[in-house]
Amino acid sequence: MPDRMMRDKETSNTSSIPWLAAALAYVGTVVGAGFASGQEVLQFFGLLGPSGIAGIALAVAGFAFFGYVIMALGRTERAASHLPVIRSAVGNVLTPFVDLVVTFFLFGATCAMFAGAGSVLHQEFGLPWVWGAGAMAAASVLTVVFGLRGVVSSLSAVAPVLIGAVILVSAKATSLRGLKLPSPPPGHGPVLPGWFVSGAAYVSYNIIMAVPVLAAMGARTGTSGDLRRSSFAGAFGLGLCLLAVYLALVSNFPNSLGYEVPMARLAELVHPSGKLIYSAVFLLEVYTTAVADLFGFASRLRTEGTTAFKLVVFGSALVALAVARTGFSNLVRTVYPLAGLTGLLFLAGLVRTAARQAHRDR
């Protein structure tokens, strides 16, 4: 998208977010619990066999393009939440529907993250479920109440650890049986038909959760060049992680199949304490997702930095804990697919908006 999309004067004031911090926050937002488990990569790309690499390449291109467009719109609209970006992408008629789905999805994903933390700590360390879920809720609240600055600082600090751990475990797991690109064994076909659909669906599913953080970061990024660097570097980091996990999973067929958390299984094969270490990595990735989603939900309801915003953060976390404890799985099965379909609609709107702006600026 041409630079003139940025109608406001480009500045590099002290309140702007450094492009590298924004890029790392982008990675931290997308690399969440589903990714850490290995299930997302397995279902979207691993079960495609060798053509999964093409799907990953498409996903990386999508993250680079759409990350830039969302941040650019966020900067143009001076967005404090995802709403202005959604309105620019899909228009006034569809905005209420898309906004409702995205906002509810953010809350739902927050519930799922709290529940996941409770389950992991109970399973691995025997702690009561409420201790793990409560600790994750408290950590998320203490981060989000400081607003976007707190979110970006936390995500950008954690992201390098996540990238390094994922790549290290994946490289070790790949070396166990040597680098291979086999097709999955019989009875383990891909969930989606073909690499193009899988790559597009993966971007759609993940970009919805990233919109609030990307939009708000775009509004506080110094220059349009910083926007490009942030989105492209973030997409590159995501691509490295995707490819590393993909290679580890397919090189270890069929050992990587049949487990709820295949990456933890591979970590255990790499080292006796690998599963324990990877559980800690998993919790960090749960944290990054919970922080991004809680921020997105709260910033949609109240203006960041206000007392009302902080009250919403606390109240939302308490409600999310209660919902997570009382059988949230049915909601997840309903909301996640709906969010994926809505994401495709949103991405189509972003493409249309970018094309329209490019045409105007010729």
- CA 90, 96, 99, 100 torsion: positive or negative? negative
In this predicted structure, what is the pLDDT of residue 12?
40
For residues 71-93, average pLDDT = 90
| pLDDT given at position 21 | 92
Neighbours of 162 (CB within 10 A): 25
Whole-angstrom CA distances from 351 to 64, 65, 88 are: 13, 9, 11
Instruction: Tell me the mean pLDDT in the region 15-25.
Output: 87
Tell me which residue of 214, 240, 205, 168 sits closest to 34, measured CA to CA. 205
> What is the mean pLDDT of the segment spanning 68-89?
91
For the chain, which domains are there?
A: 16-352 (1.10.4160.10)
Bond before 254 cis per omega within 30 degrees? yes
Q: Is the pLDDT of residue 362 over 70?
A: no
- pLDDT value at position 336? 64
| CA distances (Å), origin 260, targets 257, 277, 339 | 9, 17, 22
- Per the CB < 8 A criterion, the answer to whether 2 and 227 are in contact is no
Nearest to 79 by CA among 1, 148, 150: 148
pLDDT in tens, 134-165: 999 999 999 999 989 889 999 999 889 888 88
- In which band, very low, low, confident or very high, does the pLDDT at 69 lie, cut at 50, 70 and 90? very high
* Residue 177 confidence (pLDDT) above 70: yes
Report CA-CA distances (Å) from 163 to 94, 288, 302, 352, 360: 37, 13, 32, 33, 39
What are the tens digits of pLDDT across the range 195-231? Answer: 998 899 889 888 888 899 999 999 887 788 889 999 9
Residue 7 to residue 177: CA distance in whole angstroms? 54
Residue 15 DSSP label = T
Percent of the chain clearing pLDDT 70 (strictly above): 91
Residue with tokens 């004031």: 13
pLDDT band for position 36 (50/70/90)? Answer: confident
Helical spans, DSSP H, in the chain: 19-30, 33-37, 39-44, 52-77, 83-125, 129-144, 147-177, 195-218, 224-251, 262-270, 274-301, 307-325, 329-360
**pLDDT on residue 330:** 55
